[in-house]
Amino acid sequence: MTTLTGPNSTATAGPRLVERRGALSDTVLRSLRTGTGPVHAPGAVLKADPWGEDLQLALYLLYELHYRGFEEVRDVREWDPDLLRLRQAMEARFLHALRAELSDAPRSVEEAFAPLLVEPVDLSDSLSHRLEIEGELWQLREYVVLRSLYHLKEADPHAWVIPRLTGRAKAAMVAIEYDEFGAGRADRIHATLFADLMTDLDLDPAYGRYLEQAPAPLLATVNLMSLFGLHRALRGALVGHFACVEVTSSPGSRRMAKAMRRCGAGPAAEHFYAEHVEADAVHEQVVRHEVIGGLLADEPALEEDVAFGCAATVMLEERLACHIRQAWDHGHSALRAPLPER
C-alpha cells in the first residue's frame, strides 16, 4: 500500500492528547500514541452511550485529525482506514441518536427557523441573559473555556461546505466566511479575536488547550459541526447549522458584551462579542436569503436536511445550557475540573 509522506508527515504541532474516558476513547488514544491500528471489542460502539463522555471524546479525537491534529501524532493518521472505519461506526451511533431525538422536529425551513427569529419573552433559560444580569467572573471564564473548542476554530468546519455549493449559495457563503476569517487581516480573524478575549481573562489561548476540561455536552456541539462538515451527504444539515448559529448570535453576543463590561473582563473580551453583534446581524440576512435560498433553489430536496441541521443545533445547545445551569445552580464548576482562581 502506498503511503503519503512529506516534511510534516512524522508529527504535528497540534495540542497534546488527553486522558481516556472509557473503552472507546482508550482505543483511539492507544492507536494515536502507538501508531498501530485501533483494537476494540465487537459491539463496543453499539453499547456506548451516544451522549456520553467516552464516545464523544473518541469522536472528537478522530475529527481533530482533520483540523490541526495532535502533538506527536503523524499527520498521515488522518486517513488511516482502520481509524476511519471506527469513526464511521461512532458517527452512525451519534447520528442515529440525533435523528431519534428529533423525530418530531420541523421538516421545513420556515418551521425550523421561525421560533429563532423572535426574541423570547422569558429569558430565564438563556445563559447569556444570566451572565449579563448576575454572572460572576469565574462563570464568564468557565463559559469562555467551554466555547474555546469551537471559537478557536471558528468558521473552519463551515468552510468545508463551500466546494459543495454552487451559484448564489456559494457566493454568499464565501462572503460570510471572508468576514469570519478577518476580511484579509490576520489580526481580525474571529478565532484570533477570541484568543485575545481569553488572554484578557487570564486563560491560555492555545488551540485545544482545554479539551481535558470539556464535558460531553460541549464536545457534542463541536462534533456536530465536524460530522456535518466532513460529509457531502450532510451539506444541507451543515447549512442549517451555520444559519442557526448566525440567526441566534447577535442578541446573545449583545448580552455577552454587556456581561464582559459589567465584570471588567477587559477590552478584548468585550470587543469579541461587540464585533459579533453587528457582523452576525448582517450575516443572518445573507445566510437565510442567499445561502439557504440559493441552496434550495438548486437542490429543493435538501430542505429537510437544512431543517434537521437547525433543529440538531438547537437541541445540543439546549443540552449544554442545561448542563451549565445545573452545575452553577449547585455551586459547582461546569467543567470536568475547575479552573484555578484568577
Using CA atoms, how far residue 123 sits from 143, 206, 252, 281, in Å, is 18, 33, 11, 20
SS3 string, 291-317, reads: HHHHHHHHCHHHHHHHHHHHHHHHHHH
d(CA 85, CA 53): 20
Examine the domain organization and report whether 281 and 241 are in the same domain.
yes
Domain end (from 40, 70, 101): 101
Determine the residue type at 318.
E
Residue 335 belongs to some domain of the structure: no
pLDDT along the chain (342 residues), means of 10: 50 84 97 94 92 98 98 96 97 98 96 88 83 95 97 95 98 95 94 96 97 98 98 98 92 93 93 82 87 98 98 97 96 95 75
Tell whether 54 and 177 lie within a shared domain: no
User: Is residue 248 domain-shared with residue 174, that is, in the same domain?
Assistant: yes
DSSP for residue 15:
P
Q: How many C-beta atoms surround the C-beta of residue 75 within 10 A? A: 19
User: Is residue 340 in some structural domain?
Assistant: no
Grid cell for residue 176: 460570510
Domain edge (last residue) among 101, 128, 154: 101
Closest CA to 246 of 310, 315, 338, 165: 310
Confidence at residue 1, expressed as pLDDT on a 0 to 100 scale: 39
Domain interval for residue 294:
109-329
Decide: 69 and 78 in contact? Cβ < 8 Å.
yes
167 in the same domain as 278? yes
Please, what is the angle between helix 267-286 and helix 235-262, to 10°? 150
Cell of 201: 481573562
Q: Do 190 and 66 sit in the same domain of this protein? A: no
CATH value at residue 267: 1.20.910.10
Q: pTM of the predicted model, to two decimals?
A: 0.94
Do 118 and 164 lie in one domain? The reply is yes
Query: Of 74, 101, 128, which closes a domain?
Result: 101
Reported as a single tens digit per residue, the pLDDT across 102-148 is 999 999 999 999 999 887 767 778 999 999 999 999 999 999 999 99
Structurally, the chain folds into a number of domains equal to 2
CB 212 within 8 A of CB 52: no
Residue 334 falls inside a structural domain: no
pLDDT of residue 34: 96
Same-domain check for residues 92 and 131: no
CB 244 within 8 A of CB 291: no
Residue 5 lies in a domain: no
CB 265 within 8 A of CB 140: yes
pLDDT of residue 88: 97
Taking a C-beta distance cutoff of 8 angstroms, is the pair 68, 208 a contact? yes
Q: Are residues 210 and 150 in the same domain?
A: yes
